């Protein structure tokens, strides 16, 4: 009976995923959709988000798209208004949108550092603040932030800006978890290692892939669908006792 009750709750819940037009974001949206959530797929690339939403649900009844530039507070507010107009409410936010641009640390320009950090870290902050404020007013919410192994071990091929932004997301997760806990809102992070995704394949040339696999204790790249399944667990109404955490999914590259 308890499991049926949870399933019934999820059927009436709505999730918003940023950066959902492709890659891990799309996998996360797909797994939330499969779990029974209505899903708003947001992305700065509206056409890509619309194509992804149509792929999930051609009827549009349980998957819709919305343009959202995470560097703009107004875009979060507009997306919130849009999803409430569509489905009446929203219970889950996944801050996934991120910029990745590999640059050697000693060659990194200050303006490039600021740009990437403002998008990755700043976008997560704004999402937690704008949507978190709404969740608090409703007395319930689940926020899942996408961090990274790079934010835990100092990064490898992604550069100082990316690693710093992801490390900051881990800290922001704790800050907002403390701020929102009394309002029935949980805030957690997922920190993936190398995932079988377009981003990793872009960063790691084919000739370097065997070396990367040899460095991973389990000897394989991660599964993007499993990242989505971890998000589903953290988004569950049952996850009320888990907040401020960072879930590691890295094949054994970082253990604690």
Query: Quick one: 128 exposed, middle or buried, by C-beta within 10 A (0-12, 13-18, 19+)?
Result: buried
Name the catalytic one among 134, 140, 162, 240: 162
Residues 6+ apart with CB under 8 A from 241: none
Quick check: is 162 catalytic?
yes
Query: Which among 69, 178, 167 is positioned nearest to 126, based on CA atoms?
Result: 69
Q: 3-state secondary structure string, the chain? A: CHHHHHHHHHHCCEEEECCCCCHHHHHHHHHHHHHCCEEEEEECCHHHHHHHHHHHCCCCCCEEEEECCCCCHHHHHHHHHHHHHHHCCCCEEEECCCCCCCCCHHHCCHHHHHHHHHHHHHHHHHHHHHHHHHHHHHCCEEEEEECCCHHHHCCCCCCHHHHHHHHHHHHHHHHHHHHHHHHCEEEEEEEECCECCHHHHHHCCHHHHHHHHHHCCCCCCECHHHHHHHHHHHHCHHHHHCCCCEEEECCCCCCC
Query: Known catalytic residues?
Result: 162
């Amino acid at each position: 009976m308890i499991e049926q009750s949870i399933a019934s709750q999820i059927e009436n819940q709505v999730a918003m995923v940023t950066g959902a037009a492709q890659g891990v974001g799309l996998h996360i949206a797909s797994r939330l959709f499969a779990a029974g959530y209505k899903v708003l797929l947001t992305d700065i690339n509206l056409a890509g988000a619309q194509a992804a939403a149509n792929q999930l649900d051609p009827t549009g009844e349980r998957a819709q798209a919305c343009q959202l530039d995470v560097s703009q507070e107004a875009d979060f507010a507009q997306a919130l208004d849009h999803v409430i107009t569509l489905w009446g409410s929203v219970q889950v936010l996944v801050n996934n949108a991120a910029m990745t641009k590999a640059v050697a640390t000693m060659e990194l320009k200050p303006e490039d550092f600021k740009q990437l950090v403002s998008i990755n870290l700043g976008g997560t902050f704004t999402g937690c603040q704008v949507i978190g404020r709404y969740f608090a007013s409703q007395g319930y919410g689940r926020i899942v932030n996408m961090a990274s192994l790079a934010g835990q071990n100092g990064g490898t091929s992604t550069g100082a800006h990316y690693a710093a932004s992801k490390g900051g997301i881990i800290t922001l997760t704790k800050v907002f978890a403390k701020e929102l806990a009394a309002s029935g809102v949980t805030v957690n992070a997922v920190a993936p290692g190398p995932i079988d995704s377009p981003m990793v394949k872009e960063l790691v040339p084919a000739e370097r892939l065997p070396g990367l696999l040899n460095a991973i204790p389990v000897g394989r790249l991660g599964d993007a669908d499993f990242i989505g399944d971890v998000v589903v667990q953290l988004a569950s109404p049952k996850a009320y006792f888990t907040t401020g955490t960072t879930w590691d999914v890295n094949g054994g590259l970082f253990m604690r």
